[in-house]
Chain A
Amino acid sequence: MELIIALIIGVLTTSGVFLTLRGHTFPVVLGLTLLAYAVNVFLFAMGRLTIGLPAVIDPTQAEYADPLPQALVLTAIVIAFGMTAFLIVLALKSRSELGNDHVDGQSCPEGEIPVETDVQKQIQRNEQL
């Protein structure tokens, strides 16, 4: 089980980092979400992996799982959820204000707000072909 959890955290983090380094806002949002998943699983595993144990002390059971990481994860999930929602709205706002969805507002000359029309895009695409 340890190996599977470790692999899951590793894969999630790798994909998250890869996506976060992309230039467009949408992959970045996805990457941050994956990173948040990875850290949630990681926090959870930090209370040690146990199976079938109660989180709250049960007199019939000899041991119990560490409840604190579960509380932490819950907080972290809520915060990550809110932040992601905010980021998506902000990404949409920047798409409409900057005219493109690059994280650094690429191809936007200073003081100008380019508005790419569909026609221009079509022309560009034709030229590239």
Chain B
Amino acid sequence: MMSLTFLPVLAPLLAGIIILLARLGGLNLQRLLSMLSVLLLTFISLELMQQAVQGQTQVYTLGNWVAPFGIVLVLDQLSALMVLITSILALGALWYAVTSKIDAKGSHFHVLFQIQLFGLNGAFMTGDVFNLFVFFEVLLLASYGLLLHGGGAARTKGGLQYVVINLIGSTLFLFAVGTLYGILGTLNIADMAVKVSQAQPEDLGVIAAAGLLLLVVFGLKAAMFPLYLWLPQAYANTSAPVAALFAIMTKVGLYAIIRVHGTVFGDSAGELAHYYAPWVLGLGLITLLLAALGVMAARGLREQVTYLVLASVATLLIGLGLNSAEALAASLYYLIHSTLIAGGFFLLADIIARGRDQIGDRFISANAMPQAVLIGGTFIFGAIAMSGMPPLSGFFGKVLILSSALDHEWFMTILGIVLVSGLLMIVAVARSGSLMFYHTQPDAPQGESLNSLAYGAVVMLFATGIILVIFAHSITLLTESTAQQLWQSSDYIQAVLNTRAVGGN
């Protein structure tokens, strides 16, 4: 059977090119092609997920050059899971963009959207650090275009800062990659892990420094303290479907930490084994506290959602910092939940802003929006899921992470910060909800009525919150086996390094 491993990378790229050419056929043709491409991607990623859960790590050698000399695409359970989340999120975001006609506000929305997916899937599947850098640049370039889609002064301002900070991040990435190559002589992640375990003692300091520099870069992508300041500006000011798709962007940084640091500085790394974990844990705790304060201080709903995204990233950082297979499994469960719900919440914020006419999403009392009961109900659902209250998936994710922290020496600190920040978020979200849905002015102008097609995207993304609860058992089994596979990084290393060229000897 032919390997499908390269399809999640190739399909969006080809779709992007075709959609660019289809410009002559008008926007509707572009929309159709874009939707078809994302649907196709969803089916491919479902199929790949099914293949991946059988436990075999699939390796695709690009140009038939075997690792460590060539670049490989690797499909294990984690990459399959990330690709699947991306395509589901993309489906929701794209559906919203098409139905609310946001994609018509500037040119090339669909092209950029597909290239963004190309970069994301590439970053999730590559087995080479330099290639990871290239895919980071691809997804960043597309994200710059998407971020500025529609224009406007606030968007430009946030966009400029986003571009500058990410360019600095790219430079740091290259410094780290260069240093690692200079010492280890390889950039293949699996091969790097082998080389680190055989490294001379005098080289360990430099390797550790380069590893931490990489952590800074990934932390910047993931919006880890103190590198999160770009996120609220950029996400709160961009258009809703773009912000929704960007819910996965911070997770790219987290994924890179799991993949690169987890493999290279895994159990086999000797003195350097897991040396980065206390940093991730400590910075995650600080980020969570600051994010909770940000949620309290936000002046508008979209700003509040960006801080909620930040809080979910921080929770995931804590899960990674706990550094055990159990915590990793819990984090992955929380990752699925937080990405999809956050994406839905960004879309909902836009629906609310449209219903409030001039006032938009600012926390000022306005007229009751059309269909306030329905939208309000959805808001409560999203708020409960995002702030981690029972009975929805956010609660289970947090419980799983906290229960895996029970044996950790910092347990009381972790428990305290997670619970206090959770309380702060619940208070803040409850306050903003009551302000928007109860404190209404009867004589203020009313906004647009609900676009029920666009609302479908929110329902779709929020429904995952229910699915995650109903099928919690099978999904935790999945994340546990994923975490187990990641924890035994030797399997990954063996799979990559033992792949033979097709038709070769």
Pick from A48, A76, A82: contact of B141, CB below 8 A. A82
- A sample of 13 more A-B contacts (CB under 8 A), given A35-B168, A42-B174, A47-B181, is A25-B160, A28-B164, A32-B171, A48-B182, A68-B187, A69-B181, A75-B130, A80-B170, A86-B141, A94-B157, A98-B153, A103-B161, A105-B157
Q: Which residues of B contact A (CB under 8 A)?
A: 130, 134, 137, 141, 144, 148, 151-153, 156-157, 159-161, 163-164, 167-168, 170-171, 174-175, 177-179, 181-182, 187
**Chain A interface SS verdict (over half):** helix
Contact with B along A82-98 (1 / 0, CB 8 A): 11001100110110011
16 contacts between A and B (CB under 8 A): A32-B171, A35-B168, A42-B175, A46-B179, A69-B178, A75-B130, A76-B174, A86-B144, A87-B164, A90-B156, A91-B160, A97-B151, A103-B161, A103-B164, A104-B157, A108-B153
Residues of chain B with a CB closer than 8 A to A75's CB: 130, 134
Leading 4 A-B pairs by shortest Cβ distance: A46-B182, A105-B157, A43-B178, A39-B174
In the complex, how many angstroms separate the beta carbon of A2 from the nearest chain B beta carbon?
Answer: 13
In the complex, how many angstroms separate the beta carbon of B161 from the nearest chain A beta carbon?
Answer: 7
Look across to chain B and name the residue whose beta carbon is closest to the beta carbon of A114.
B153
Pick from B134, B137, B163, B175: contact of A87, CB below 8 A. B163
Residues of chain B with a CB closer than 8 A to A113's CB: 153
Residues of chain B with a CB closer than 8 A to A90's CB: 144, 148, 156, 159-160, 163
Residues of chain A with a CB closer than 8 A to B170's CB: 79-80, 83
Docked CA distance A80–B133 (Å)? 12
In the complex, how many angstroms separate the beta carbon of A27 from the nearest chain B beta carbon?
Answer: 11
The reply to whether A39 and B167 contact each other, CB–CB distance below 8 Å, is no
**Chain B interface SS verdict (over half):** helix
The reply to whether A32 and B156 contact each other, CB–CB distance below 8 Å, is no
Docked CA distance A39–B167 (Å)? 12
Docked CA distance A82–B134 (Å)? 13
Residues of chain A with a CB closer than 8 A to B151's CB: 97
Pick from A39, A45, A48, A94: contact of B156, CB below 8 A. A94
Q: Which residues of A contact B (CB under 8 A)?
A: 20, 25, 28, 32, 35-36, 38-39, 42-43, 45-48, 68-69, 72, 75-76, 79-80, 82-83, 86-87, 90-91, 93-94, 97-98, 103-105, 108, 113
The reply to whether B175 and A20 contact each other, CB–CB distance below 8 Å, is no
- Inter-chain CB contacts under 8 Å: number: 87
The reply to whether A32 and B164 contact each other, CB–CB distance below 8 Å, is yes
Residues of chain B with a CB closer than 8 A to A108's CB: 153, 157
Residues of chain A with a CB closer than 8 A to B160's CB: 25, 90-91, 94, 103
Docked CA distance A47–B170 (Å)? 20
Docked CA distance A42–B144 (Å)? 27
The reply to whether B174 and A68 contact each other, CB–CB distance below 8 Å, is no
The reply to whether A83 and B167 contact each other, CB–CB distance below 8 Å, is yes
Residues of chain B with a CB closer than 8 A to A72's CB: 130, 177-178, 181
Most buried by B among A25, A32, A113: A32
Look across to chain A and name the residue whose beta carbon is closest to the beta carbon of B174.
A39
Most buried by B among A32, A86, A94, A104: A94
Residues of chain B with a CB closer than 8 A to A42's CB: 174-175, 178
Residues of chain A with a CB closer than 8 A to B167's CB: 32, 83, 87
